[in-house]
Amino acid sequence: MMFSWISSGFPLFIFLFFVVFFRAQLTYWLGRAAAHGFISAEKRTGFLGAIARWFNGPTPRKGAHILDKWGLVVIPLCFLTVGVQTAVNAGAGLVRLRWRTYTLAMIPGCIAWAILYSLGLLTLWTSTLQAIAGSPWGWAGITIVLLVFGGLIWHTRLRRNKESVCPITPSDSESAELSRSHQNEDI
């Protein structure tokens, strides 16, 4: 049963915003609680102790650092996906991302999610992707986009490797001049 005041428009958007806001916060805090529980077992031996030591190790710290650095991009974008959202929100809690950073990063995602769901755009978005992926022309277009994107990445990496492997060296004529100048200094 749906209340008539949230059936459409701005009230529906507000309702959905708070639904996703509290769901994301709950997922984050469950991840934090799990991390805290494992960390408190650090002095234990066996499997629980190993997990607790892992939570205090370099991997979660690196994850927290990456989320601190790039979380403002990853966290809101996860709200535009289906299935990744919970993993990202729980992961932010597991690596003990600062609450303030997490909350500020998730608010734009919550707004986008509420807009998509209140206007029915999520259905349109997924239907469009399914239609593109179901058509041979759609698959061809996706393949071309992926090939172009992969080619650009490959070209950029190749250029970076050339720059790092081949330092700037003087030409043969410059080398000859340098050796003559050093010989003249010796005289």
Lowest mean pLDDT among 9-18, 33-42, 61-70, 171-180: 171-180
Predicted local confidence at residue 187, as pLDDT = 54
Q: Domain map of the chain by residue range?
A: 4-122, 135-186
Identity of residue 111: I
Specify the pTM: 0.56
pLDDT at 161 over 90: no
CA–CA gap between residue 171 and residue 111 (Å, rounded): 59
CA–CA gap between residue 124 and residue 127 (Å, rounded): 5
Q: Give, for 162, the enclosing helix (H) or strand (E).
A: helix 136-165
Lowest mean pLDDT among 26-30, 33-37, 127-131, 175-179: 175-179
CA–CA gap between residue 87 and residue 85 (Å, rounded): 6
Count other C-beta atoms under 10 Å from residue 82's C-beta: 8
pLDDT at 54 over 80: no
pLDDT in tens, 87-145: 888 888 888 888 998 999 999 999 999 998 888 776 776 777 777 777 787 778 778 88
Written as six digits, the tokens of 55 are: 């939570």
Predicted local confidence at residue 132, as pLDDT = 74
More confident residue, 1 or 122: 122
Cβ(28)–Cβ(109) below 8 Å:
no
